[in-house]
């Protein structure tokens, strides 16, 4: 057997448990064209909590013209149940978004730094370098305000405009982001471009350079999302994003699927003996329910195939 240049990076024991951040209310809905009423968004959050979710990315504080689905972010946060054991996060792209997040009483924000200039310019009107400075500014303010600041590197595994993104570049960006002390550093495969060996390599290299707590965010655009999630867990990452039902999409591939689905990720992890604290049946029901609200069959497969073994 000859060897390819890439090595399969699958290492040590898997973690005994992982934390799944429910991003359906934010990244899931944000990419859905069917606008939902505020009450449905709040019900989605309530159902996720009932299924065991304890970290929820609930809203984006972005311009309503750009992302109409998130126009009622303040109203959603005002109505979402507040519980000591549930933490919410809001995604922000700039200072204005951060101020809005603070105004809702959120104690965690997720700040996006885009790895490529072209995606960054199109997504948030700044270069990567400018995005990095925005992150530093928000991190400083968040620390002063006692708010957790998560940094997400978008298109960390590939860009729809610039194509492949070099690991060297992402590692250096991660190193600089880490200097401002993120609560967590998330690597996002925004367009489902990554593969498992790349995931393992990037995680290993970033871990060598920073002490940041790592989190991964995968889309299943090209059916690599669950393999990537497995590779991330095998590389020791114990916080993964997912959206119930696998709702969401990709603005750059109109017919493509979205985030990896929470229920399918739970099934994968549970099968490997990795606990998530989530209730598969409740998740599957919620996936089907939100699909009905959106008028589509969700990409999650557990709701269609049923659990294994059968309950």
Contact positions vs a copy of itself (CB under 8 A): 1-17, 158, 160, 163-164, 191-198, 200, 220-224, 226-227, 229-231, 233-234, 236, 238, 250, 253, 255-257, 260-261, 264, 267-268, 271-274, 300-302, 304-306, 308-310
Q: Which is nearer to a copy of itself, 35 or 272 (CB)?
A: 272
Find all residues with CB under 8 Å of 263, minimum gap 6, and list them: 244, 245, 280, 283, 284, 287, 300, 302, 303
Compute φ and ψ for 51, nearest 5 degrees. -85, 0
Let me know if 159 is a catalytic residue: no
Chain centroid, CA 194 distance in Å: 14
Shortest spacing between CB 24 and a copy of itself, in angstroms: 16
Candidates 68, 79, 6, 20; CA nearest to 44 is: 79
Q: Which is nearer to a copy of itself, 71 or 253 (CB)?
A: 253
In the DSSP assignment, the letter for residue 68 is: G
Structure-block tokens of residue 165:
């993104």
Q: How many other C-beta atoms are found inside a 10 Å radius of the C-beta of residue 184?
A: 18
Q: Which is nearer to a copy of itself, 100 or 217 (CB)?
A: 217
Q: Which is nearer to a copy of itself, 63 or 222 (CB)?
A: 222
Question: Sign of torsion, CA 34 40 46 51?
Answer: negative
Shortest spacing between CB 107 and a copy of itself, in angstroms: 25
Shortest spacing between CB 229 and a copy of itself, in angstroms: 8
Q: Which is nearer to a copy of itself, 171 or 193 (CB)?
A: 193
Chain centroid, CA 176 distance in Å: 21
Q: How many other C-beta atoms are found inside a 10 Å radius of the C-beta of residue 137?
A: 15
Shortest spacing between CB 17 and a copy of itself, in angstroms: 8
Task: Catalogue the active-site residues.
Answer: 250
């Amino acid at each position: 057997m000859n060897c390819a240049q890439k090595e399969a990076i699958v290492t040590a024991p898997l973690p005994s448990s992982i934390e799944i951040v429910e991003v359906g209310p934010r990244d899931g809905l944000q990419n859905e064209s069917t606008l939902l009423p505020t009450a449905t968004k709040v019900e989605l959050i309530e159902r996720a909590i009932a299924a065991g979710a304890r970290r929820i990315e609930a809203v984006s504080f972005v311009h309503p013209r750009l992302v109409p689905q998130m126009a009622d972010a303040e109203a959603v946060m005002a109505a979402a149940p507040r519980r000591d054991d549930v933490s919410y996060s809001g995604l922000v792209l700039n200072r204005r978004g951060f101020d809005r997040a603070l105004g809702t009483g959120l104690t965690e924000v997720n700040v996006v730094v885009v790895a490529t200039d072209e995606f960054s310019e199109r997504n948030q009107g700044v270069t990567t370098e400018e995005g990095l400075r925005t992150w530093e500014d928000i991190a400083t303010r968040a620390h002063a305000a006692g708010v957790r600041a998560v940094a997400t590197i978008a298109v960390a595994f590939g860009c729809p405009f610039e194509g492949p993104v070099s690991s060297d570049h992402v590692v250096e960006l991660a190193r600089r982001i880490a200097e401002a002390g993120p609560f967590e550093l998330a690597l996002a495969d925004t367009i489902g471009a990554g593969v498992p060996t790349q995931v393992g390599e990037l995680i290993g290299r970033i871990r060598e350079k920073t002490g940041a707590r790592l989190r991964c965010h995968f889309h299943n655009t090209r059916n690599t999302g669950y393999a990537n999630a497995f590779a991330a867990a095998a590389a020791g990452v114990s916080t993964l994003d997912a959206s119930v039902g696998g709702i969401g999409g990709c603005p750059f591939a109109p017919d493509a699927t979205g985030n990896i689905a929470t229920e399918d990720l739970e099934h994968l992890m549970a099968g490997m003996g990795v606990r998530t604290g989530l209730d598969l049946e409740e998740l599957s029901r919620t996936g089907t329910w939100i699909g009905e609200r959106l008028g589509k069959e969700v990409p999650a497969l557990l709701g269609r195939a049923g659990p294994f073994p059968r309950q």
